Structure 1
Amino acid sequence: MRTIRPSSGLANVRYEIRGDLARRANEMERMGHDIIALNIGNPGVFGFRTPETMRLAMIENLRSSEAYCHQKGIFPAREAVVMQQQSRGVRGVTAEEVYMGNGVSELIDLVLRALLSTDDEVLVPSPDYPLWTAAVNLNRGRAVHYPCRPENGFEPDPKDIEALITSRTRAIVVINPNNPTGAVYSRATLEAIARIAEKHHLVVFSDEIYDQILYDNAEFVPMATLVHGTLCATLSGLSKVYRACGYRVGWVSFSGEVEPAREYLAALDKLSSLRLCSNVPGQWAVQTALGGYQSIYELTRPGGRLFQSRKAILDGVAASKYLQVCAPRGAIYAFIGIKEGVLPEFSDQQFAMDLLQHKHVLLAPGTSFNAPYKTHFRITNLPTSEVIADVFGRVEELLDSYASGAEPATRAPALKMVRS
């Protein structure tokens, strides 16, 4: 039979968060094993609920959701995004500069597809959320990674960024609060990046999906409040702050130098039209979400579930002979590393597979996020603190076996996660 081969355009596309490890975990579950899956930030799986008011807003507007809407989205949703941006000090945004999408994931693809020509370059953080790198490559561009070093708290150095700019550079991606590291960038760093973008006429893509998930009085600074002399695209959505991943509702709003970008926005409008529109029922939840009570703060303050689970991660690392971490100040992850010199042969991919096979815990290796080193892994703080404590016990057992040269022992079934 003739072999059907995939597109060569996928050669440089990686998304290992749902890759071989996740497929092996599915096989093990079908064999009857209980797997603690910490590879994806999916709040609903861990018992978090979308606010009731958002569900009611969808139900009450179902009759208005059966037809296609405008390709940019329904007006109340877009206007709610405008109001949020204005309340944050962003100037010049109207509903015409807001596009609704099937989650931020779809919009990442669309905003890059509308911008890039063959071999155009986009500056992307390393480590990054790998969809950004993948989407650049899929849309004929080249992702150029700027370092966010562990020793600097995973915050980028603007000098490193500017040194990578060439005549082919079209845009810079900022992920703040950061996935996978949990870093929250300082105002000074963001201001420096904004000035670099303006100086070199780069589009700024600011991924702010975790904008209200903050700990220990961390300050979130919206990038659009700092970028004035070039185009700034702010991307966010309902998935994380509002625990509504399955609604598939995201948005991108444009600010800064909008007028010189009208041809680009017209191209984005064309792409939005080609997919007709995004999920209409979910869009009816946006106005209620952004304008209503922000229940996320109950989860992130001391005593709240996300805060306590994050604390359990920090406690687990502190008790370990092998681990270290920059305490995450935002988002729902920690990017944990191996202490220098303690396990010189450590491989994040092998560790992740061994942890799954022998300890029944699934997490994401650091190289999945385009990190140039093999010493880190990402864990989410969505489970309860009890489950996280159990996970760290299993991690320490595996690392002990590495240190002693013994064969890893397989543990008993994992604690069940509380679901509701």
Structure 2
Amino acid sequence: MEDEKKQNLDIETPNNITIKGIIGLLMGNTDCNDNRKVISLGIGDPTAYSCFHTTDVAQEAVVEALRSAKFNGYSPTAGLPPARKAIAEYLSRDLPYKLSSDDVYLTAGCTQAIEITLSILARPGMNILLPRPGFPIYGLCAAFRHLEIRYYDLVPDKGWEVDLKAVEALADQSTVAMVIINPGNPCGNVYTYQHLNKIAETAKKLGVVIIADEVYGHLAFGANAFVPMGVFGSIAPVITLGSLSKRWLVPGWRLGWLVMNDPDGSLKSPKFVERLKKYTDICGGPATFIQAAVPTIIEQTHEVFFRKTINMLKQTSDICFEKIKEIHCICCPYKPEGSMAVMVKLNLSLLKDITSDIDFCFKLAKEESVIILPGMFSAQY
């Protein structure tokens, strides 16, 4: 027991540990003598479950690109032009203006898009506004780039909406950007058009860039339809981050993008663009043959594939929400309506010998071989 307590206390803080890092610690705490298969519910990898499988169109496009032997070399810094064009056209479908290929930069998954964005915005003495709860990678990347992190709260009783008054109180002349995750990770919320418009107006008032994390874009199965933040790009400049990972169920392909939703050109100064190009030169990008497959993947994937994924997510979300109601020590403040995650509240007063969410997760892993993430790693309280 003492060793277990020591292990729990030795866990790093939210801003210097990754999700994979905490998952590794939890997996290491499972009982090796327990013959039950470990149920891992801690990471958004749909491929871990056989019911989620990408479309044949995507697989065949990658195979064809690889077998052609035309894409074994380096790609241009920003990505292959046909792939950039296809992504620009794909995202433009939902916007009141048209994106161009020059607005799109390909990245090795959305995680690299986060890293690049924060790196090019970082300056000595600057700060960034991050949502709480949110995705831990933002805090980690910001800390590495010496950006001061200021957390604004999401309000669970209002569908995890942004506390805009808190945002205004936190921001100052040194604030470079605010991050919006929609559909929400880990909260499972989907923002309305009206709320996104208020966010854009607030960003305009404060003079900050919006970083819109839309890696779960279009994975909405509740009352609110998905609306991209780029719709409001004429109000405040938006840097949209996304990928094939979730909607096409291929996180291992590492094909992401960083897109300038900036019809007024606020972000397109020569210095900013040059900084972006230099940083993508340093980082490299996704595999060239995966990039080559992108136009076919985007243009030929049938809507029935997307509907099937949405239906499965809604079904599993409904089951999860109803089952949580049967567990007295856990409640869900908001039924998930999007993404692949849900945030729940743990009532420690109803549990014996449980001191925190971390303690609960470690004991759950050891006693039941079930892996879930402690809330502190997304809430940073």
User: TM-score, normalised to structure 1's length?
Assistant: 0.80
Aligned to 2:48: 45
Contact 1:116–1:139 under 8 Å retained in 2: yes
The answer to whether the Cα contact below 8 Å between 2:201 and 2:236 also exists between their aligned partners in 1 is no
Is contact 1:104–1:237 with CA below 8 Å preserved after alignment?
yes
Select which of 293, 307, 319 maps to 2:314.
307
Output the amino acid matched with 2:107: G
Q: 1:253 Cα shift?
A: 1.0
Residue identity in the other structure for 1:264: F
* Contact 1:22 1:362 survives alignment (8 Å): no
- Structure 1 segments (4+ residues) deviating >6 Å: none
Aligned to 2:7: none
Cα separation, partners in 2 of 1:21 and 1:277, compared to 1, 3 Å:
closer
- 2: distance between equivalents of 1:360 and 1:341? 23
The answer to whether the 8 Å contact 1:179/1:333 transfers is yes
Is 32-41 or 111-120 further displaced after alignment?
32-41
**Residue 323 in structure 1 maps to residue 327 in structure 2:** no
| Alpha-carbon distance in structure 1 between the residues aligned to 2:285 and 2:342 | 35
Which residue among 14, 36, 40 is the counterpart of 2:39?
36
Q: Using the alignment, how far apart are the partners of 2:242 and 2:165 within structure 1?
A: 27
Relative distance call for 1:54 and 1:178 in structure 2 (3 A) is: same
Deviation at 1:306, TM superposition (A): 2.0
Specify every segment of 5 or more residues in structure 2 that has no aligned partner in the other structure, as ranges.
Answer: 1-11
Provide the identity percentage: 24
- Give 1:13's aligned residue: 15
Amino acid at match of 2:49: F
Question: Partner amino acid for 2:126?
Answer: D
> 1:167-186: CA deviations, max 9, x gaps?
11010100000100001112
Secondary structure of the equivalent of 1:64? coil
Letter of the aligned partner of 1:309 in structure 2?
T
One of 55, 58, 64 as aligned partner of 2:59 = 55
Whether 1:199 aligns to 2:205 is yes
Per the alignment, residue 365 of structure 2 pairs with: 356
- Whole-Å Cα distance in 2 between the matches of residues 317 and 243 of structure 1? 26
Secondary structure in 1 matching 2:245:
coil
**Alignment of 1:103 onto 2:109:** yes
SS of corresponding position for 2:342:
strand
How far off is 1:14 after superposition?
Answer: 2.9
Equivalent positions of 1:9-408 (< 5 A) are: 13-26=15-28, 28=30, 33=35, 34-47=37-50, 48-62=52-66, 63-256=69-262, 257-258=264-265, 260-262=267-269, 263-291=271-299, 292-294=301-303, 295-301=305-311, 305-325=312-332, 326-338=334-346, 342=350, 347-372=356-381
Provide closer, same or farther for how the CA distance between residues 187 and 367 of structure 1 changes in structure 2, counting only shifts above 3 A: same
User: How far, CA to CA, are the matches of 2:32 and 2:346 in structure 1?
Assistant: 32
**Unmatched tracts of structure 1, length 5 or more:** 1-9, 373-420
Q: Quick one: which amino acid aligns to residue 37 of structure 1?
A: S
How many Å apart are 1:338 and its aligned residue? 2.7
Q: Which amino acid aligns with 1:53?
A: V
Per the alignment, do residues 12 and 320 of structure 1 end up closer, same or farther by CA in structure 2, a change over 3 Å counting?
closer
What is the CA-CA distance between 1:207 and the residue it aligns to?
0.4
- SS in structure 2 of the partner of residue 331 of structure 1: coil
Matching residue's letter, 2:21: G
Letter in structure 1 aligned against 2:315: Q
Letter in 2 for 1:328: P
Rounded Cα–Cα distance in structure 1 between residues aligned with 2:234 and 2:328: 48
Q: CA separation in 1, counterparts of 2:13 and 2:356? A: 23
Partner SS state of residue 276, structure 2: helix
Inter-CA distance 160–343: structure 2 relative to 1 (3 Å threshold):
farther
SS, match of residue 159 in structure 1: helix
Taking structure 1 as reference, are residues 130 and 185 closer, same or farther at Cα in structure 2, changes over 3 Å only? same
Tell me by how many angstroms 1:155 deviates. 1.4
- How many residues align? The count is 360
SS at match of 1:225: helix
Bigger mean CA offset, 86-95 vs 177-186: 86-95
Q: Is the 8 A contact 2:153 2:162 kept in 1?
A: yes
CA contact (8 A) 1:92 1:255 kept: no
Offset, 1:283: 1.6
- After TM superposition, give the deviation of residue 289 of structure 1 in Å: 3.0
SS in 1 for 2:196: helix
Per mean C-alpha deviation after superposition, the further-off stretch among 177-186 and 16-25 is 16-25
Counterparts of 1:41 and 1:123, CA distance in 2: 24
The answer (yes or no) to whether the contact 2:18–2:140 under 8 Å persists in 1 is no
**8 Å CA contact retained: 2:239, 2:261:** yes
Asked if the contact 1:125–1:148 (Cα under 8 Å) also holds between the matched residues in 2, the reply is yes
Distance 1:11 1:319 in 2: 32
8 Å contact 2:185–2:341 — kept in the other structure?
yes
